[in-house]
Amino acid sequence: MLNSLNSPQREAVKYLDGPLLVLAGAGSGKTRVITQKISYLIDEAGYSPKEIAAITFTNKAAREMQDRVGKLMQGKSTKGLTIATFHSLGLQMLRAEAALLGYKPQFSILDSSDSYKIVADILATTDKQIIRKTQWQISAWKNAFLNADQAKAQADEELTVAAAKVYQLYQQTLKAYQAVDFDDLIKLPVELFQAHESALNKWQRKLQYLLIDEYQDTNACQYKLVKMLTGLRGQFTAVGDDDQAIYGWRGADVENLRQLTDDFSKLKVIKLEQNYRSTVRILRAANQVISNNPKLFEKKLWSDLGTGDLIQVSAAMSEEAEAESVIMKIQAHKFEHRTKFLDYAVLYRGNHQARIFEQQLRNHKIPYTVSGGQSFFDKAEIKDLVSYLRLIANEDDDPAFIRAATTPKKGIGNTTLERLGEYASLHKISLFAAAFEADFQSDVGAKQLDDLLNFCAYINKLQQRAVRDPANEVLDDLLNTIQYEAFLYDSEEPRAAEGKWANVMDFIGWLSKKGEANTEYGNEAEAKNLLELTQMVSLMSMLEGQEAGEVDAVKLSTLHAAKGLEFGHVFLIGVEEGILPHRESVDLGVTDPTKIEEERRLMYVGITRAQKSLNISWCKKRKRAGEMELCEPSRFIAELPKDDVRHFGNPFNDPEISKDFGKSKMANIKAMLANK
């Protein structure tokens, strides 16, 4: 089985003489090493499955590991084997030892919104920014393994002094509630082991060998937990890559890799440098960019997958032009190479960059999925409007009924809806149908019934108009009748309301355009009524809700969310000063070079997602706060190897290159069409 591994991979699997750090470059098969080592520990090294724990950061990564180990073991028992995230392992420990910390075994775990409410109550404010900053600061202290007293001693600004006081009261509240938050799932086990040696000895005996994935993403608290569990014997394999350390903003500390060499004098280091993902040109670009960072460990990726295409760097006049250019390139490349939509990914630094690409993809009827941010159809304001459309199409759609009946509020209260739900459930009919039942009506007050029936009558009216009137007229009437714009401004801060209303206008404009008769490009399409448009929207939103990989769709993703993934063809967009690297990192980088270093690692992650081709783009102008601003290409573009890059639209390069390349591409496509 080990014969399928390369020499360094095989060495990493078989090494059991002490602590091991595997420096696994992008696409070098790190998950394969971890899963093969689990199999080796059980089959060859005499470990029982219950003595092994593999720790990772996401449920998805844990599931992938479990699947791979199951296939490797071919039906052999793995009962007791722990493959879990840091937080789920911490939860196991807390549940087992809760009494030692003064908790009941069935303590509550609060999510981010629960902790937000507690912090808001302590601060006695509704200012979202102050609440979130305080919440984030408390989380950062916990990740750094600082208690409230230590945080108070360190606080040197007005905000952090105030946050330290809130931290104290926050922890007291959690204890009173017999509750813990997400960060406590790591912090409390460390406190437990510091205070109770017997509990530490018990868990050290239980978990004889640890494998830690994505080690560069550990924070101070997680490092303490690993160090305590492994003890003096140091029987662990840590797998990481200092070049992919991109989570400093949430407490991850790449220095934990260096700290291993200090804390474990017998640490063995094995490098995985062969990349099984990308072409030589893509790897040369990645190596050259990251070489501008100071190195913890020297490492250079290589590949035997061929030289590959030149990397394309394009300058666009605006973000609209950039989006249009990328979509056209995807369409042309897909046609020419007979690929699928899922072979393409558009990657960006911030979620806000996705919006214009979503618009373009919808306009060109190209399916897409969004990760690392919120899809257009997942936005609350779009869901609100779609609930009305769904109800127009199908009045028996109960979830749509509840949302439409209560957003905006129409005098239909929870009590009325509860009674309606009980009656509908008892008689096995929809909520809409139940509203017209005499037995139900007799049980509801006159005012409540009037409000309910008025809503239902309005839906009936829209149903009639949906198959008769132009879609844009019906939609305009809907927005005016329910006073949705006023509702947004009443329930949101002005800037948030403005953004949400802009999304509504985009959605309505897009739907209206889709409803018009179309004779573009010689393809005649009849006008669609609102009912037909609703069915189209329902299908699109259902596609977006499917698991990634189930649907043939272009992937839109933040660079952070794309880590660990790979795509045939990558479009890395908005590669400008102020975006990548981020404006805050540029400002702070004057005094703290680590900020720019992390942004460069983010660029490296983006480059190494690509298997066959890489397109990088930047805008010469971009709209900010309603004004057009001149932009500069990112410093990281200048760090790319010149012989591996072809520039387009850049005035500092030969314009003939772009022209000749465009002509040759067009000639190829014409030839293909002629041969069909």
User: What residues act catalytically?
Assistant: 30-31, 213-214, 244, 609
Q: Is 397 helix (H, G, I), strand (E, B) or coil?
A: coil
Q: Following CA atoms 559, 561, 566, 570 in sequence, which dihedral angle do they give, to the nearest 10 degrees?
A: -40
Please answer whether residues 530 and 389 qualify as being in contact, where contact means their C-beta atoms are separated by less than 8 angstroms.
yes
Q: Cα–Cα distances in Å, from 545 out to 180, 384, 553, 560?
A: 31, 16, 12, 21
β-pairing, 621-624 vs 627-630, is antiparallel
Residue 365 burial (C-beta neighbours within 10 Å; 0-12, 13-18, 19+): exposed
- Quickly list DSSP for 469-494: S-HHHHHHHHHHHHTHHHHHHHHS-H
- Which alpha helices (DSSP H) does 343-470 contain, by range? 354-363, 380-393, 398-406, 414-427, 431-434, 438-441, 446-466
| CA–CA separation, 16 and 24 (whole Å) | 18
Cα dihedral across residues 20, 26, 31, 37: positive or negative = negative
**Residue 24 belongs to what H/E stretch?**
strand 20-24
3-state secondary structure labels for all residues of 119-156: HHHHHCCCCHHHHHHHHHHHHHHHHCCCCHHHHHHHCC
Sheet of strand 368-371: strand arrangement: 368-371, 554-558, 344-348, 567-572, 610-619, 311-316, 645-648
| CA–CA separation, 179 and 103 (whole Å) | 8
- The DSSP symbol for 48 reads -
Please answer whether residues 485 and 499 qualify as being in contact, where contact means their C-beta atoms are separated by less than 8 angstroms.
no
| CA–CA separation, 370 and 348 (whole Å) | 11
Tokens of 581: 């690297």
Please answer whether residues 237 and 212 qualify as being in contact, where contact means their C-beta atoms are separated by less than 8 angstroms.
yes
Nearest 5°: CA angle at 143, between 138 and 145?
A: 95
| CA–CA separation, 290 and 82 (whole Å) | 35
Max Cα–Cα distance, the chain, nearest Å: 81
Tokens of 289: 């960019």
Tokens 């897909």 -> residue:
334
Please answer whether residues 463 and 488 qualify as being in contact, where contact means their C-beta atoms are separated by less than 8 angstroms.
no
Q: Which of 223, 289, 283 is nearest to 254 (CA)?
A: 223
Residue 96 burial (C-beta neighbours within 10 Å; 0-12, 13-18, 19+): middle
Please answer whether residues 68 and 62 qualify as being in contact, where contact means their C-beta atoms are separated by less than 8 angstroms.
no
| CA–CA separation, 442 and 436 (whole Å) | 11
Beta carbons within 10 angstroms of residue 42's beta carbon: 21
β-pairing, 554-558 vs 567-572, is unpaired
| CA–CA separation, 558 and 569 (whole Å) | 16
- Strand intervals (E) in 360-507: 368-371
**Residue 28 belongs to what H/E stretch?**
none
| CA–CA separation, 535 and 317 (whole Å) | 37
